[in-house]
Structure 1
Amino acid sequence: MTTLTRIENAFLTVDVSPLGAEMQAVATPDGRSWLWNGDAAFWSGRSPVLFPIVGKAPDDTLAIDGEPYPMGQHGFARRREFALAAATDTMCRHELAASEATRAVYPFEFLLAVEHRLEGPTLTVSATVSNRGDRPMPFGLGFHPAFVWPLPGAAGRPHTIRLDNGGEPVLRRLRDGLLAPGDLPSPFAKGALVLDPAQFEADAMIFPEGAGDGLTYAADGGPALKFHFDNLPNLALWTKPGAPYICIEPWHGIAAENGGSRELSQRPYGTVLQADESRRFAFTVTFPA
């Protein structure tokens, strides 16, 4: 059986699996659970880390300097065992380094370090990507946490996503898992979106730009989760219609354009690290105290 790492303080208890460095549970001392439980009848994920791509590649194939490599949706990190590199009562860091298996599909020398840290009622999840090789390394990085919908104690109440910047970012949709051409009208009105399962009948809602670096997910008259994003300019919202969770997904990189290039360096909003460079990406969630 997989051994989970538990971090906790007076406000939160968080369990993290070495498989994908993925959170398995977030609970408050009153017994309320905030993270989706991974029921495979709907979706077995809970909070996967997406690397080295976000979304799909055409025909599940990337090109790197013109050479083809197989790559499944959202990359391989979520299916790899990470090593526990450090842990305290309130922090754990898991690491995934390049190996013979990863080089076969992604020919770069990388280190991906995922850290979960508690400070009061706030959880910070960060990913630091390092290029340990001698040539430029393109990639995408994203987070895919799923939170319960309805929130604890808020069944039957409207739930709203409210952007800190009050924006109305344009919407993009997927076609065959790839980014469809053309902007669509924003479903946000003055920064607010009241969630409805019907919004997800056409798959995820993707906001490449303009969602800002913070939002609140809340039930009317009920609990609220406050988010902040660091170096994560893209946002997606997703669930399966009728499923009891909502994924609030901050990304740096999105699916390839439908009909676009397979070349990894040309994927929208990707990152390229030079030799010996590192880049950090993070989100925080503050839970009801």
Structure 2
Amino acid sequence: MPSSVRIGNQDLTVDVSSLGAEMQALDTSDGGSWLWTGDATFWTGRSPILFPIVGKAPDDKIAIDGAVFPMAQHGFARRSEFTLTASTATMCRYELTASEATRAVYPFDFLLAVEHAVEGRALTVSAEVTNRDQKTMPFGLGFHSAFAWPLPGADGRAHTITLDNQGEPELVRLAGGLINPTPLPSPFHAGRLVLDHAMFEQDAMIFPKGAGEGLHYGAEGGPNLRFRFENLPNLALWTKPGAPFLCVEPWHGTAAQAGASSELSERPSTTLLPPGAVARFAFTVEIGQ
């Protein structure tokens, strides 16, 4: 059975499960709950880690140097039991290493370390991938955290996403779970997007480039969350229409393109990690006062 760890300080409390190294709760000392609860009515996820792919593969299969392997949407890390390797009052580190089960679908020797750390009213979630193999290792890595919509104390208020770079990144949509590469007009105007559940009737909104390294998600005149991204060039926003959450998903890698190769190394934004190398990805979310 999965276990869990609670970390925190005078401002924040964070619960993290050993299953998927997935955050289960993000609460403030004033009683606010900022993370989705995982209600099965809509979606049981809360904050899964996506590895070694982000999104779907054609027919749920990937190819590695021509050899074909089964691979479920978003990879296997989110359904894997991690080992707690370090824990303090304000930090925990979980690790997943290659096993007979992972090699059957992903033939590489790897270490995936996921760390949650709190400082003040900010939480940083980082993932480090180490290639312990003798060959270059392709993979995608993404975060899929679901936050309350509406935010605590903001019922009835308009909620917005505001990009730090004031950009208007091109939008792409999914077709059968795969990327339709035809770009669509940006829903952002001078970096600002007023959220509406109707935007998600066609599934996620995906911005392959141009969303920048930070954004605000907040209610007009009310609570807000500030995000900063490290080595995460792709962004998706997702919910199920009518569900009380919004996923803010920074990625390095996306679903495969419709009609394109099933080779993992050829997927958009795939990392090709040399033997012995380490790649780090992280986001920080700070809860506004």
TM-score, normalisation: structure 1: 0.99
Aligned partner letter, 2:46: R
Residue 63 in structure 1 maps to residue 63 in structure 2: yes
User: Structure 2: 5+ residue runs without aligned partners?
Assistant: none
Residue 139 in structure 1 maps to residue 143 in structure 2: no
Instruction: Write out aligned runs for 1:268-283 (5 A).
Output: 268-283=268-283
Residue 94 in structure 1 maps to residue 94 in structure 2: yes
Aligned partner letter, 1:175: A
Q: Which residue of 2 aligns with 1:180?
A: 180
Higher strand share: 2
Q: Which residue of 1 aligns with 2:215?
A: 215
Question: Aligned equivalents of 2:149 and 2:66: distance in 1?
Answer: 43
C-alpha displacement of 1:181: 2.8
Q: Which residue of 2 aligns with 1:250?
A: 250
Percent of aligned positions that are identical: 69
Question: Aligned equivalents of 1:115 and 1:134: distance in 2?
Answer: 26
Aligned partner letter, 2:216: T
Question: Aligned equivalents of 1:244 and 1:288: distance in 2?
Answer: 20
Aligned partner letter, 1:45: G
Instruction: Write out aligned runs for 1:13-162 (5 A).
Output: 13-162=13-162
C-alpha displacement of 1:240: 0.2
8 Å CA contact 2:117, 2:125 repeated in 1: yes
Q: CA RMSD in A?
A: 0.6
CA distances 1:108-165 after superposition (whole Å, capped 9, x unpaired): 0000000000111110000000000100000000000000000001011000000000
Question: Aligned equivalents of 2:13 and 2:221: distance in 1?
Answer: 25
Question: Aligned equivalents of 2:277 and 2:4: distance in 1?
Answer: 30
C-alpha displacement of 1:4: 1.1
Aligned partner letter, 2:130: S
Q: Which residue of 2 aligns with 1:286?
A: 286
Question: Aligned equivalents of 2:268 and 2:26: distance in 1?
Answer: 32
TM-score, normalisation: structure 2: 0.99
Secondary structure of the 1:258 match is coil
Secondary structure of the 2:265 match is helix
Matched residue count: 289
User: Structure 1: 5+ residue runs without aligned partners?
Assistant: none
Secondary structure of the 2:183 match is coil
